[in-house]
Amino acid sequence: MKTIKLLFVSVFSIVMLQGCSVAFYGDNDIPPSLDQVLSSHDLWYIDYHRTVGNTDVPFVSKAFTMSFFNGVMYANNNIVDVGRTGNGLGIDVGVYNTFNGLLSVNHDLDGLYEFEVTLLSPNQIELHNYRLNVSYFLIGYSVNTFNYDALFYDNIEYFLQEYVGWEKVDALGGTPNPFDAENYLAFTPENITTFYSSKDDFGIDVDLVNWDYVGSYEVFDVVGYQDLKVLELYYDGGVVEEFELTVTNDRSIRLYHINSGTTYDFAGRGFIQFLKSDKVKIKDGAVRNSDRKRTKVIRRSKSKNI
């Protein structure tokens, strides 16, 4: 049983087949060409948590999905509007070629990178960059079967970063508690777990919000639930505000405050579009530099509050 390393035999190159537990081609079958493999799925989801290596290829670490069609590479660098931007493929970020089983990508901003491609199963590939010694694992989907809900929850920290801030728009039930006074939250890329909060009045421009507090936060998986997270905000003096976090849609979230029983709805303000690589565009058209990139997230788990 073998995986197929997509390198063609020539006078100066040897095809290497790695032993594996996945069987989908018989000994007499002709493996597909690399170009056929890349175009066989609409989307290749980058399972970044499986990445091997201590360096990164900039445009890969910023993308959630990549697509390869007719020499053009597309990427979804945002979670917000995923499935709609570019008919689901995202934005055009560069061009590519395949030769001798190697994938050569010329990214619009990051330049030329080459990858050795290993076919792990009919819908999984490994991209390995020898120069940086880093491997990425991609899972292929069609745009009609891709699980967009799972994308949000698997990458929740990045979704929270895609708005300049989150404004409280509703509060239901529960008992009075100090968090009632917090009207705005913001989540930023530094250390992936930095948050800001503000008690400013409702309805002001999010770019004018005075962020009163900066702290850290952690997101937990919930045992037995794929569509629920626990969010903990850490304030001074050891104060922890704990919430059950659900995604209502790609513009709003719901926080259930566990201690008080209050449900808060927050709406995203100031959508930040991550473009080719090192630039972002916010709603007013301004372009900002950004060093956001995905990192391997190892989450702890909690049981659901009963």
Q: Which amino acid is at 47?
A: D
Spatial distance between the Cα atoms of 231 and 159, rounded to a whole number of angstroms = 13
Where in the chain are the domains? 34-146, 153-302
CATH topology of domain 153-302: Lipocalin (2.40.128)
Q: Strands, DSSP E only, in 100-162?
A: 102-107, 111-121, 124-129, 134-141
* pLDDT at site 29: 65
> For residue 172, what are its two tokens?
């239901």
- What integer pLDDT is reported at residue 223 of this predicted model? 96
At position 44, the amino acid (one-letter code) is: W
The whole-number pLDDT of residue 292 equals: 67
Residue 114, classified by CB atoms within 10 Å of its CB into exposed (0-12), middle (13-18) or buried (19+), is middle
User: CATH classification of 34-146, choosing from 2.40.128.280, 3.90.1150.10, 3.40.50.300, 3.40.50.620?
Assistant: 2.40.128.280
Average pLDDT across each block of 10 residues of the chain; the chain has 306 residues. List them in order.
43 29 48 91 94 94 95 94 87 94 94 96 96 97 90 92 96 96 93 91 94 95 96 93 96 97 97 64 42 78 87
pLDDT value of position 191? 75
Give the chain's radius of gyration (CA, Å): 22
Q: Which residues contact 280 (CB under 8 A, 6 or more apart)?
A: 272, 273, 274, 287, 288, 289, 290, 292
DSSP 2: B
Which pLDDT value is given to residue 28?
A: 53
Q: Three-state SS across 98-117? A: EECCEEEEEECCCEEEEEEE
> Tell me, what's the pLDDT at 149?
87
In contact, 184 and 197? CB cutoff 8 Å? yes
Other beta carbons within 10 angstroms of residue 109's beta carbon come to 13
Strands 134-141 and 252-257: unpaired
Closest to 83 measured CA to CA, from 30, 5, 147: 147
How confident is the model at residue 85, as a pLDDT? Answer: 86
Q: For 280-305, how does the pLDDT look when each residue is reduced to its tens digit (9 = 90+)?
A: 444 443 333 355 678 777 889 999 88
> According to the 3-state scheme, what is the secondary structure of 218-270?
EEEEECCEEEEEEEEEECHHHCEEEEEEEEEECCEEEEEECCCCEEEEEEEEE
Q: What CA–CA distance (Å, rounded) separates 77 from 59?
A: 9
Q: What is the pLDDT of residues 175-186, one digit of tens each?
A: 999 999 999 999
Closest Cα to residue 5, out of 131, 128, 101?
101
Of the chain, the end-to-end C-alpha distance in Å amounts to 47
Residue 101 has a pLDDT of 84
User: Any residues with CB less than 8 A from the CB of 33 and at least 6 apart, and which?
Assistant: 6, 98
State residue 83's pLDDT score: 83
Rounded percentage of the chain residues whose pLDDT exceeds 90: 69
